[in-house]
Amino acid sequence: MRKILIFIILFSFCLGTSLVASPAADLLKIIDFSISMKTLDIMLERGQIDSFTKDMYLILDGNVASRELLSTDREPFLGEIELVQGEWSGLEEVKIYRCIVVFSGDQFSGLIPARRARRRSENEIKLNSHVLLIGKLQGTRTLSDGSTVPVIEGFLIREML
């Protein structure tokens, strides 16, 4: 009887452990943790960006270099930010990685103000702030300076303190 009780306890513990481990495995099916702004830049330089699967979520961080509200007051919210990240290459050169993050939908209203206000909205993303975001690769865009950058559809964004 005692062996049966110990077996049931161990079995339930093993079952519980496998259930807890399952959500982590499920996350790996929808989030690509191997992609950073640097790897997106490398894929872009090599011409491999189109081969990247667009149904995987990405988790990126960087600084907000610019932000632009694209919609008017009567339209659903549409705005974008330019996210930048950099790293030193040697002692005198800094490599900059950039991407455009597009936010659409009224759940993002207030994220980018139409004009500078005296009071910030609760969810406004400040210029030069460090942010963490979840998004999906949409494609690429050629900017006015001739550079091509990845375009990310943003789903969640959080300012890091």
Higher pLDDT, 150 or 122: 150
Considering the domain architecture, whether residues 3 and 44 belong to the same structural domain is answered as no
Confidence (pTM): 0.81
Considering the domain architecture, whether residues 1 and 76 belong to the same structural domain is answered as no
- Per-residue pLDDT, 116: 66
- Per-residue pLDDT, 98: 96
Considering the domain architecture, whether residues 79 and 18 belong to the same structural domain is answered as no
Kindly state the average pLDDT of the residues 63-92.
92
Domain of residue 2, residue span: 1-28
Considering the domain architecture, whether residues 69 and 134 belong to the same structural domain is answered as yes
Considering the domain architecture, whether residues 90 and 128 belong to the same structural domain is answered as yes
How many domains does the chain contain in total?
2
Question: Can you give the CATH number for the domain in which 46 is found?
Answer: 2.40.50.140
Considering the domain architecture, whether residues 22 and 82 belong to the same structural domain is answered as no
| Nearest by Cα to 82 from 104, 58, 64 | 64
pLDDT tens track for 11-57:
454 445 444 556 777 888 889 989 999 999 999 999 998 888 888 99
The pair of structure tokens assigned to 10 is 């161990």
pLDDT tens track for 86-141:
999 889 999 999 999 999 998 898 888 877 666 777 788 999 999 999 999 999 99
Considering the domain architecture, whether residues 124 and 55 belong to the same structural domain is answered as yes
- Per-residue pLDDT, 65: 96
Q: What is the 3-state secondary structure (H, E, C) of the chain?
A: CHHHHHHHHHHHHHHHHHHHHHHHHHHHHHECCCCCHHHHHHHHHCCCHHHCCCCCEEEEEEEEEEEEECCCCCCCCEEEEEEEEEEEECCCEEEEEEEEEEEECHHHCCCCCCCCCCCCCCCCCCCCCEEEEEEEEEEEEECCCCCEEEEEEEEEEEECC
Considering the domain architecture, whether residues 24 and 36 belong to the same structural domain is answered as no
Confidence of residue 161 (pLDDT cuts 50, 70, 90): confident
Rg (CA), the chain: 21
Considering the domain architecture, whether residues 14 and 79 belong to the same structural domain is answered as no
Kindly state the average pLDDT of the residues 142-151.
93
Considering the domain architecture, whether residues 64 and 91 belong to the same structural domain is answered as yes
Considering the domain architecture, whether residues 2 and 60 belong to the same structural domain is answered as no
d(Cα 109, Cα 104) in Å, to the nearest integer? 9
Confidence of residue 8 (pLDDT cuts 50, 70, 90): low
Considering the domain architecture, whether residues 72 and 13 belong to the same structural domain is answered as no
Q: 150: which strand partners?
A: 140
